[in-house]
Amino acid sequence: MSLIRIENVHKSFGDLAVLNGVSLDIEEGEIVTIIGRSGSGKSTLLRCINGLEKVQSGEIWADGVQVNDPATNLRLLRQRLGIVFQSYNLFPHLTVERNITLAPQVVQKRAAADVRQVAVDVLRQVGLESKIDAYPIQLSGGQQQRVAIARSLAMAPKVMLLDEITSALDPELIGDVLKVLEDLARQGMTMVLVTHEMGFARRVSSQVVFMHEGRVWESGPPDRIFTKPETPELATFIQSVL
């Protein structure tokens, strides 16, 4: 079974249909980037994979567990499905170390000494080991986003879900965050990213998914998606962003 399997998923907010029969398979180790115009359902799909949004019909499976089964322990499952948003959601009154160690200590019941080393290790991965005792207000936006990634990594997830994590950053800070993601890709981390960074999507992805009107309109390897679009909707989108 695929690490993530999405089968004919429908999701509405009131009368507004946001996902209209989405099906998608994501294998372990894949880097899947989801592209498309605002309102095409990209971010909603990520939130449904993590169980933050309930679907009206269809099935979502992650690491062998059906996400939208009412019997599923979502809190337990989310330890394997890390998610990072464009707003960093760091606790401003806690140090970088405590932002990272809180969940492993409280949720996974790990010892303080153990999680301190985890914080050191994940901060080293994102190039911020020296900021372990800093508070979020002392960090740039790009640094805060890298701490948010480190916080997710501290739970040792099977999959990282990343929702437009560079869209709130100044252009000069985006490169540092994308470098962290490229390093994670080289280490074999499975990632699903909603992104507007087309150069990054083209360079790193194993699969690019173009969403349009709440559906997977086209998907395939980046060379095909960006050079040989099969539908006028994708061709128009690519012309508008490249």
Domains in the chain, ordered, with CATH? 4-80+158-241 (3.40.50.300), 90-156 (no CATH)
On the CB side of 160, how many CA atoms lie within 13 Å of its CA? 29
Confidence of residue 31 (pLDDT cuts 50, 70, 90): very high
Six token digits for residue 31 = 């880097």
Report the alpha-carbon distance of residue 113 to residue 25 in Å, rounded.
39
3-state secondary structure of 31: strand
> What is the pLDDT, as a whole number, of residue 236?
96
For residue 108, the Cα-to-chain-centroid distance in whole angstroms is 21
Six token digits for residue 85 = 């948003």
Confidence of residue 111 (pLDDT cuts 50, 70, 90): confident
Confidence of residue 241 (pLDDT cuts 50, 70, 90): confident
Mean pLDDT of 25-41: 94
- For 113-131, the pLDDT digits (tens) are 889 999 999 999 999 999 9
- For 36-62, the pLDDT digits (tens) are 999 999 999 999 999 999 999 999 999
Report the alpha-carbon distance of residue 71 to residue 116 in Å, rounded.
34
Confidence of residue 101 (pLDDT cuts 50, 70, 90): very high
CB of 192 closer than 8 Å to CB of 32: yes
